[in-house]
Amino acid sequence: EAQVTQNPRYLITVTGKKLTVTCSQNMNHEYMSWYRQDPGLGLRQIYYSMNVEVTDKGDVPEGYKVSRKEKRNFPLILESPSPNQTSLYFCASSFLRTSGFTGELFFGEGSRLTVL
Amino acid sequence: AQKVTQAQTEISVVEKEDVTLDCVYETRDTTYYLFWYKQPPSGELVFLIRRNSFDEQNEISGRYSWNFQKSTSSFNFTITASQVVDSAVYFCAQDQTGANNLFFGTGTRLTVIP
């Protein structure tokens, strides 16, 4: 079954305690991305990757890191989480056409993070 | 700057009624793509449609239809004969030129009452 898998789905942590949210896709997609969803703000992109070892900032990258060492995995790292990073996080992936980004994203089920 | 506005925050309809979700966008680009995504209670967003700015023909897929009007910068989504399974948050989005990103509206929560 084609899917994007995120872990953990739910996490409560404290300010400053490093954490990693994993994301894995089994569709051999080149493109992967992280979004956060906040009430009244819709979804905002944090980072994206066009392929292995190619990552770039989205609209709200501050406080986050990513890496893309393998095509299937795209972990999101919060080195020193703060309460304003409490949010619902989504990983997404997509194939690329010769014209580039298609916008036809496959999303994971989301990871709800609370930072106390 | 690009902007996607979904003015309807929440809509409730009774099952079998038709419902239209509004989406208004702003862009200076001449070529762009518009999208609709569905977020059911399970949480993950599901891609519904992608539309090229050069194609203003209405699209129909089963009970779903989309009306794209460049003159009013709108890309509205209609569900005919709504069902309880249509209850979800629906997001309209537009691609950000050269940014490999989608710019999402704030979403419309649709509740279909049995």
DSSP A73: B
Task: Using alpha carbons, select from A112, A102, A114 the residue that is nearest to residue A31.
Answer: A102
**Hey, what are B15's tokens?**
């099952």
The verdict on a CB contact (< 8 Å) between A102 and B50 is yes
Q: Percent of chain B having pLDDT more than 70?
A: 99
Report helix, strand and coil shares of chain A as percent, to nearest 5: 5, 55, 45
**B5-58 tens-digit pLDDT:** 999 999 999 999 999 999 999 988 888 999 999 999 989 999 999 998 888 888
The verdict on a CB contact (< 8 Å) between A50 and B100 is yes
Measure CB to CB from residue A110 to each of B43, B102, B104 and give the nearest one: B43
| B50 → chain A, closest CA residue | A104
At residue B17, the pLDDT reads 97
Across the A/B interface, how many CB contacts are shorter than 8 Å? 57
CA distance B22 to B66: 10
At residue A78, the pLDDT reads 97
The verdict on a CB contact (< 8 Å) between A42 and B104 is yes
| B41 → chain A, closest CA residue | A109
**A22-62 tens-digit pLDDT:** 999 999 999 999 999 999 898 999 999 999 999 999 999 99
Measure CB to CB from residue A42 to each of B42, B99, B107 and give the nearest one: B107
Q: Percent of chain B having pLDDT more than 90?
A: 75
At residue A110, the pLDDT reads 96
At residue A22, the pLDDT reads 98
Instruction: Write out the H or E segment, with its range, that includes residue A111.
Output: strand A111-115
**A86-112 tens-digit pLDDT:** 999 999 999 988 878 889 999 999 999
Question: Does B1 have pLDDT greater than 70?
Answer: no
Q: For chain A, how far is it from start to end, CA to CA, in angstroms? A: 36
